[in-house]
Amino acid sequence: MTPRQAVAEAMAIDGAQGAVLVDYYARMPLASAGAASDATPKVIATMDTDVLRAKLDAIRAFGYGADALEDIVVTLTDRIDVILPVANRDRQGVFLHLTLDRRADLAMSRARLRNIARSLMI
């Protein structure tokens, strides 16, 4: 699955409002779809990279490796943001950001996002 196909597939998740595939090292979006807020894909990429880096630092301080992080879920008053590192040796440094409506099935959405990440070819 290409980056564009991955974000299109993420947008097919029930309740999806926006999806961005991000290069963690460059802090740049590789592909995006939808519009979850006034934030551009570039702003989302930059801000979520900071969130992911902070969380990785925190889990390392607790003695975990980076591979222990499955995803980060941020619940806001009107939406849910899911940040999912693509955990594959060939695709290190890439993560998916999915914005969901608050009424979305979070467990199902996370499972589908993990399947998309496993199918991703970069």
More confident residue, 70 or 38: 70
Confidence band for 37, pLDDT divided at 50, 70 and 90: low
Share of the chain above pLDDT 90, in %: 71
Its pTM stands at 0.90
Q: Is the pLDDT of residue 90 over 90?
A: no
pLDDT value for 60 = 92
Q: Is the pLDDT of residue 51 over 80?
A: yes
Which domains, and CATH codes, for the chain? Answer: 3-119 (3.30.450.30)
d(CA 77, CA 7): 24
pLDDT value for 79 = 92
d(CA 18, CA 63): 33
Q: What is the residue whose two structure tokens read 């969901």?
A: 100
pLDDT value for 88 = 60
pLDDT value for 117 = 93
- Tens of pLDDT, residue by residue over 107-121, are 999 999 999 999 988
